[in-house]
Structure 1
Amino acid sequence: MTTPSNPNAGGCPFGHGNPDTAPAQGPAATPGASAQWHDAQLDFSESMSYGDYLSLDPILNAQHPRSTDHNEMLFIIQHQTSELWMKLALFELHAARDAVRADALPPAFKMLARVSRILEQLVQAWSVLATMTPSEYSAMRPSLGSSSGFQSYQYRILEFMLGNKNAAMLGPHAHRPDLYAKVETALHEPSFYDEVVHLLSRRGFAIDPARLARDWTQPTPHDASVEAAWLEVYRNPSEHWELYEMAEELVDLEDAFRQWRFRHVTTVERIIGFKQGTGGTSGAPYLRKMLDVVLFPELWHVRTLL
């Protein structure tokens, strides 16, 4: 019996492993040769590659462990990737704040939703660090010196933008005038929520003038006029749909931020217990105290009144 010919004999039906599409072997596979693979570009001697576009060389060579301990690489990459995610979160928050100032709320909603998803990524990242045991961390901890995530200038700007202001937190950046200036600017600017309160006023709600002209360097206060405005929005969402959506985006954002903080303190307790932090804080007790901070107070209290 004659067996029908199969053009893909010896390979998969999509051509993978087919001798006709297999990568060239021997001399033809050397750089500059005419090797082909599914019509993909293989020669980047005169054009931009993936690594070029992403500047991967400096990023992938930015890990410099100070000990010979295997686990230090995990610790470094965990925190470097967190800083990259925070950079994106700040980028989106700045743009969202500009959009609110311009009364362009739909773009702001998309940006806020993205920040919430970024925080979810940061929450999940703690699960990777949690694979480090207390003994493993103790072996590499001396290499950290006095460095601590408490000193992250991006985290401080993020907190300030969300309304948790504290002038004392400028201190860790005094040795870097360039970073100090960035954090100080965030301290003196209205927070994102402050801009939303101004939005409520522009939309016709009777916001206390003292709230609209408050000292921006102070933490977000609970204000009765702001709460009354949100109560009206929640009782009549169809009449104030954009503000209703803004309220829910903000609650979603703070929810994600709280989960990030909770996973942080849980991971710290799992790895170092109640030892003092490398930056001088009390460690887990300090982080637990931060769990009590409420960023958008009226949005949470109004739920009791509905």
Structure 2
Amino acid sequence: MLSTTSAQQCPYAPVEDGDAEAARADRAESNGGKPTLAFDQNTPYVDYVGIDTLLSLQNPRTKEPAESAFIITTQVMELLFALVQERWEAARDAMEDDDVPGAVAWLRSACNAQDVLNSSWALLGDMTPTQFNRFRDAFGEASGFQSYSYRKLEFLLGNKSAAMIRPHKAMSGVVTELTTLLERPSLYDAALRLLHRRGLPVPDSSIERDWTADYEPSAEVEQAWIGVYSDDRPGNELFLLAEALVDVAERVTRWRQLHLVAVKRTMGGKPGSGGSNGLNWLARNAEQDVFPELWSLRSTI
């Protein structure tokens, strides 16, 4: 359950409007409990969700049916990237505000979105190499590596690199957003800063550093987390936070592994369209632990 602080910040908090509620009740009564069927213009549903715009965005460049599935799956993933980003940022900000219950709630909510994100790979699960080859040339150098929404997630995880902003230099707004995330503490940085404020032995070098640099694992940080795990009672909110972070990390690793398998199935070891060496690059990425000390401590406890 969200704390009071997080509930005030929650973008999903309902707006209390007695007049609107009364209008809905009147409409249901006048309709005899049946849905409204007559509208002079677009239905409110179409306008609110932007259905016409959404369905106009699928523009295959070939006649290969599998290309539509590829485009729709990619677009679904992009929407989910944005949802996960929103929830991770809310969790980071809650930790910076010492609101641990709020942070845990946001991380749990993010996990639900990550589960759907990971499941979306199944939409491409039956694509054969022959089908893929029939439309692959049509998208040229386009590559998921160029997704700025996914890059935001990597920056939030602490996988920082200023060079990864360069592909978007022609998009000033995107560059600004990525630079902001690059220069701010990551999810894990915020967690370590929280532990430090709670008196755990997180070294100063881990709580005030160059946030644009890669995080370097630390034996002292591992010991701090071991201290958290020494009290695994449900009332230990730091323990609940640690496990929520592990849940997030596990789902990120699954995402990377599913990406690797999907590429292996559809194109094998061919070079990637964006210039990478394909499988080798994805395999290295999948092997990287997210929030490393939360994993290494398990060999010590």
TM range (shorter): 0.7 to 0.9
Partner of 1:234: 229
Q: Do the aligned partners of 1:220 and 1:296 also contact (CA within 8 Å) in 2?
A: no
Distance 1:159 1:300 in 2: 18
Distance 2:239 2:252 in 1: 20
Which of 79, 82, 107 is the equivalent residue of 1:87? 82
RMSD after superposition: 1.7
- Percent of paired sites with the same residue: 38
Q: Do the aligned partners of 1:221 and 1:297 also contact (CA within 8 Å) in 2?
A: no
| Shift, 1:87, TM fit | 0.6
Query: Do residues 153 (structure 1) and 148 (structure 2) align?
Result: yes
The one-letter amino acid paired with 1:197 is L
Q: Do the aligned partners of 2:157 and 2:187 also contact (CA within 8 Å) in 1?
A: yes
Q: How many equivalent residue pairs?
A: 271
| Shift, 1:206, TM fit | 2.5
Q: Do the aligned partners of 2:253 and 2:286 also contact (CA within 8 Å) in 1?
A: yes
Q: Do the aligned partners of 1:116 and 1:252 also contact (CA within 8 Å) in 2?
A: yes
Partner of 2:137: 142
Q: Where do residues 122-201 of structure 1 align in structure 2 (5 Å cutoff)?
A: 122-201=117-196
Distance 1:287 1:239 in 2: 37
Q: Where do residues 1-306 of structure 1 align in structure 2 (5 Å cutoff)?
A: 39-45=34-40, 49-238=44-233, 241-306=236-301
SS at 1:216's partner residue? coil
Distance 1:224 1:240 in 2: 26
Distance 1:133 1:235 in 2: 49
Q: Do the aligned partners of 2:91 and 2:106 also contact (CA within 8 Å) in 1?
A: yes
Partner of 2:14: none
Q: Do the aligned partners of 1:130 and 1:271 also contact (CA within 8 Å) in 2?
A: no
Change (3 A) 1:61 1:46: closer
SS at 2:236's partner residue? helix
Change (3 A) 1:67 1:239: closer
Q: After TM superposition, what 4+ stretches of structure 1 lie above 4 angstroms from structure 2?
A: none
Give the helix-richer structure, 1 or 2.
2
Please report the TM-score for the alignment, with normalisation by the length of structure 2: 0.86
Q: Do the aligned partners of 1:120 and 1:260 also contact (CA within 8 Å) in 2?
A: no
Larger radius of gyration: 1
Distance 1:46 1:180 in 2: 39
Please report the TM-score for the alignment, with normalisation by the length of structure 1: 0.85
Q: Do the aligned partners of 2:253 and 2:290 also contact (CA within 8 Å) in 1?
A: no
